[in-house]
Structure 1
């Protein structure tokens, strides 16, 4: 994932950040508000590492998966639905009810 994913969806990453860096505190993450330099400085501080070590650790963390809160964002969902339009036969609406497939009541 890219930093812009993190920055745009900062609160959705809190759990993943705290899983990776248990010393991290939500109040501090609120203050950072997706600022990459501030995040690097914070990780440097709580892990007592050199800044380059913290950057490397963050780069490694960025290779992970997007949190489900980000993946399930309605903007993301609607974009995916719109992209699926090419697979929907002519005359059908990609936003139509799909209850016949058993996932809607």
Structure 2
């Protein structure tokens, strides 16, 4: 993914950010508001790294998947839905409430 995906959909990435950096604070993330330089400085402070190291860690994180609620592409919907399962509370099915969207197996 590219930083513009993160910046344009900042709050949609909070779960992915706290999954990667569990000590991240949602209130502080809201203040960062998608500013990449501020986010790098925040992660550097949070992890005790130099900004260059934090920048590399963020670049590695950016190689991951986009949250499904950020970019929906009909060719990748099922894949995105399956990936979103890691952001759901335990016991919840990522395919629940699919009735609003139809059944992909019907033609």
> Above 0.5 in TM-score?
yes
Aligned to 1:69: 69
Structure 1 runs not aligned, ≥5 long: 78-97
Who is 1:81 aligned against?
A: none
- Report deviation, 1:69: 1.3
Per the normalisation by structure 1, the TM-score is 0.69
Partner deviation per Cα, 1:26-84 (whole Å, 9 max, x = no partner): 00000000000000000001001011110000000000000011124xxx67xxxxxxx
Deviations 1:11-32 (A, max 9, x none): 0000000000001010000000
Match of 2:16 in 1: 16
Q: Tell me if 1:53 matches 2:57.
A: no
Displaced runs of 4 or more, over 4 A: none
SS of aligned partner of 1:31:
helix
Pairing 1:84-103 to 2, within 5 Å after superposition: 102=106
Q: How many residues align?
A: 79
Work out the CA distance in 2 between the residues paired with 1:56 and 1:71: 24
Which one has a larger percent helix, Structure 1 or Structure 2? 1
The farther-off stretch of 63-72 and 41-50 is 63-72
Output the aligned Cα RMSD. Answer: 2.0
User: Which consecutive residues of structure 2, in runs of 5 or more, have no partner in the other structure?
Assistant: 75-101
SS at match of 1:49: coil
* CA distance in 2 between partners of 1:33 and 1:53 (Å): 21
